[in-house]
Structure 1
Amino acid sequence: MTSPLFMRLAGRSSLLWGAVFGLGLALTGWLVRSERIAWPWDAVLIAVFSLSLVMLRRAALNRAEGCGTATAALKAYNRRALIWALSYIGLLGAALTARATWHPSGPVLWLLALLPSLTIAFLVWAMARYLTEEDDEYQRMRQINAALFATGFLLVTASLWGFLETFGVAPHAEGWWSVGVWAVGLGLGNAAQSLRDRQGEAR
């Protein structure tokens, strides 16, 4: 039986690696916008911080295995989600770099613009596949709740930022940032449910 200490450390590791990834990307975005760094250093930083996703997946699986909730469907979903995240970051970085470096036009520019969005379709498929493969009703409901939380988080954040932008007190944010905001919301939703589970175990 897994010790409570291991469970706490595994949970904290998930939060730690999630924070490293999120804050790392935020820092990189700020450095680029303030023109403190440029290509290729922005790509290097993003690649480095993206490696934390591998550690985040491992920590999340360690916790799930300790709780006895690491179902085959969950493991497959986590593997697909990691593939999606790394593919999205890689393709987005490649598309932005190619546009800034070679200044393409016509069909090539259209292809570069559409390329990163293809991975979003893969994420939607991965989530739908998990919901059909997962036999554990509680785990399935957890994922649905986390996705609902992420969607609500995105709606509130996008609306708030949109109003701030309309009134001229915030800079323009590209639409593709919504993917990152939704992913942060998904992580927060899962973290909130894990905290609730730990509080329930402590009673």
Structure 2
Amino acid sequence: MNQENRAGQWSRARQVASPNQDARPHGEVSLLLLHAISLPPGQFSGDAIEALFTNRLDPNEHPFFAEIDHLRVSAHLLIRRDGECIQFVDSDQRAWHAGRSYWWDSALNAWRSKLNDFSVGIELEGDDCTPFTKAQYTSLVDAVGWLMARYPALTPQRITSHAKVAPLRKTDPGPAFDWAYFRQRLSQAAFKQ
């Protein structure tokens, strides 16, 4: 087994450790949640997302930052607009990305909460209005392929949005995310393997 498989660190991602993580209670990974984030809202680039996930956000830098400075959140992966991937949390660990959320697990025929316990969170740099880039979809498909190979319980049917698991609180990745295009690319990548 190579180091990548032991560590839960994707070799194609730049590693930036977030303190906002802990151990998974049962070691299960069976759900993938897609998110979108831009900081400040509607603005792309810069290091604000990285600063948020590493508890270094300067509340004086922007009025919105003062509103969220208290948050202690993270994601396993962030995919920037140019396709660069940053990994904040080892995929075997629990990232703090889902919040108060519920998901219908058809395999168990039951609603599940505490989604951070068994999910991987991928943030896409974006918002509800701006189309995501081809580079982001390419990196996302590659990351999902790596995760699905690593965790057999993670299948295309177990990929959903933050909006679906927290519909009264969240809208991301939003209507600008092209689910049909993503699923087509994911299917094509699986077929090639």
The TM-score, its normalising length taken from structure 1, stands at: 0.26
**Structure with more helix by fraction:** 1
The TM-score, its normalising length taken from structure 2, stands at: 0.27
**Structure with more strand by fraction:** 2
Of the two structures, which has the highest relative contact order with CA contacts closer than 8 Å and spacing of 6 or more? 2
Higher Rg: 1
